Structure 1
Amino acid sequence: MRDEAPFGVVVNPSSALGRGARVATRVLAAFEAAGVHAIEISGSDAADCQARVRAASREGLRGLVLVGGDGLLGLVLQVAEARELPIGLVPAGSGNDFARQFALEHAPAAAVSRILAAEHAPLSVDLGVVERPGAAEHWFAGGLSIGLDAAINRRANALRLPLGPFRYHIALVAEILTLKQRRFRVRVGSSERSFTGILSTVMNARAIGGGIPLAPRASVHDGMLDLVEVTDGTKLRLLSVLGLLARAQHEDLPEVTITRVERVRVEAGDEIAYSDGELVGTGPFEVRVAPGALRFLA
């Protein structure tokens, strides 16, 4: 029977500079206290972790519980066998943007209790899927960042300090100081346009970068994605736009367009995209929504 199979507790030992491993120990103890069998799944690197998740999923699991942040969620979503299982999340990363969407519990005992309570009625949550020439499909939970927000992500990942979401704030300031325009070509249905701006990002969840509300009205339950575009302007004006964006007051600005889409194609030259905090690569990007693809234990 499925209930007799264990939960797989997936941990990234380097999450938040080791916090993930410490939290995972407490999560496993909470499962034991609840009388539920759980096993730890980890790896020496991303590829090893994915291989171990794949193998354990094939052997039979009741579900997966990820102890980490957006990056670990994005890592596991690339494993087809994992996407077939219900997935819970205990926030222990730097940004935790996807967890914030659901106001998830951080305390291990409370998190495990909530996951177990949700097991027989998991939430149906949308995911995003990216297709690129010559590359495998890439699945994401939060958003596909193209432009300024991707550059911030890249810089934040390079800061190996225990700063939590403040890494993204530091990276934001650094990128603003060298703010540059990018060229985008975007196609939605039969409509295509080109523009110069600072980002063209496809969001599933509301926030990225440790709580920046890029798509304040986005929902992970509506079968749609939010395409957020910010066009060009003077540096002083764009600084004002970014300040309003950080406070979710940007939706009506003339430089900002937010479009609900099921599918979109974005071309951005040699711009490198990120999703869920991790590298995706260069485009062009064909992005679509996968409605209800994730059974989420929340």
Structure 2
Amino acid sequence: MRLRLGRIRPHHRRFIEYSGAMNTDGVDDDLPFGLVVNPFSALGRGKRAAVRTARALAARGVRVVPISGRDAAHCREQLRAATGTGLRGLVLVGGDGILGLVLQVPEARRLPLGIVPAGSGNDFARQFGLPHDPVAAVARILAAESAPRAVDLGVVLLPDPERPGQKREHWFAGGLSVGFDAAVNRRANAIRLPLGPFRYHLALIVEVLAIAPRAFSVRWSRSADAGQDPAGRRAFTGLLATVMNIRAIGGGIPLTPQAEPDDGALDLLMVDACSTVRLLSVLGVLARGRHARLPEVRMERAERVGIEAGSEIAYADGEPVGVGPFEVSVAPGALRLLA
């Protein structure tokens, strides 16, 4: 779903600030955590989870600064303002969309980051087995403060519609989808029922019935290929060309079951066009993560990927990014994850 961030007021009595103390791990307990909330995650579950998260942090003597906004742009403004006051880290309450929003703010991206899953898909949180219960999630976040996990991020450069001839940068944690899976994501976002990950399954069924092959031109390379021809280049008519940093998207669909978010590489998945009947078989195998050997499927590991797909709109971390061409690269260890 698209982020629609309502304001959670800092003076609300359920977000009372508590004083902290220095610990022996070098963490400055006098600084608060920024509590970044999408209150509309999963049709309101985010707001309820945020209240429980704030209480769990307060019970451990941790101060919080609530961060939200009227919309995505306002939330980014609030993030920049809050990071300027000094924070020990960020705790995100929501799904993949709120993570994607935070990653677009450089000041926020540099802070240690913890997640309390409260969205519809929660694919990034699922990769690390993060608990949905706010009390358990807070305990795990605080336990990881002394040794955050270094996690890769993806960066995509694409045309900036507001500056003709210029490129803009978009960071992502999970994956960049172009084609069929992006269409599923778009249709799932439009479903307003509280179905959780089943929204993606319903959207997938509808998209299968309306399947339309796309024309793709893809190239990929590794560091060893610098200054040389790409390791691979492929033009094909197919269903999708997706670049993944984690194993699953769409509420747990294992597109790249071998992907690791800390190996300094991205996983590229390409699926050729096929009939609707054959597609049902391919999707059944894909749902079990056993599609690597299918003749319609090609998987590659790379550090840089270029994708051209005409007017196709790419999605990243559940939200629309824009129209390509797309130049994707990995940023090794760019995120300090409290997990």
Note the alpha carbon deviations across 1:200-256, whole angstroms, 9 max, x for none.
Answer: 000000000000000000000100000000012222112211111011110111111
TM-score (norm 2): 0.86
Identical-pair percentage? 66
5+ long unaligned stretches in structure 1: none
Secondary structure of the residue aligned to 1:2 is coil
Correspondence list, 1:85-104, <5 A: 85-104=111-130
Structure 2 CA distance, aligned partners of 1:138 and 1:74? 9
Structure 2 CA distance, aligned partners of 1:146 and 1:82? 27
Look up the match of 1:123: 149
Look up the match of 1:228: 269
Look up the match of 2:94: 68
Structure 2 CA distance, aligned partners of 1:39 and 1:226? 36
TM-score (norm 1): 0.98
Work out the number of aligned pairs and report it.
Answer: 298
Contact 1:2–1:61 (CA<8 Å) still a contact in 2?
Answer: no
Larger Rg over CA atoms: 2
Note the alpha carbon deviations across 1:22-47, whole angstroms, 9 max, x for none.
Answer: 11011000111001111211111111
Correspondence list, 1:107-256, <5 A: 107-134=133-160, 135-189=167-221, 190=229, 191-256=232-297
Task: Point out 4+ residue stretches in structure 1 off by more than 3 angstroms.
Answer: none
Contact 1:42–1:52 (CA<8 Å) still a contact in 2?
Answer: yes
Structure 2 CA distance, aligned partners of 1:113 and 1:231? 45
- Asked whether 1:278 is paired with 2:278, we answer no
* Deviating more after overlay: 1-10 vs 141-150: 1-10
Note the alpha carbon deviations across 1:59-115, whole angstroms, 9 max, x for none.
Answer: 110100000000000010000000110000000000000000011011111110110
Structure 1 CA distance, aligned partners of 2:285 and 2:200? 17
Secondary structure of the residue aligned to 1:44 is coil
RMSD between aligned alpha carbons? 1.0
Letter in 2 for 1:286: E
5+ long unaligned stretches in structure 2: 1-26, 161-166, 222-228
Look up the match of 1:58: 84
Look up the match of 1:20: 46
- Cα deviation for residue 55 of structure 1 reads 0.9
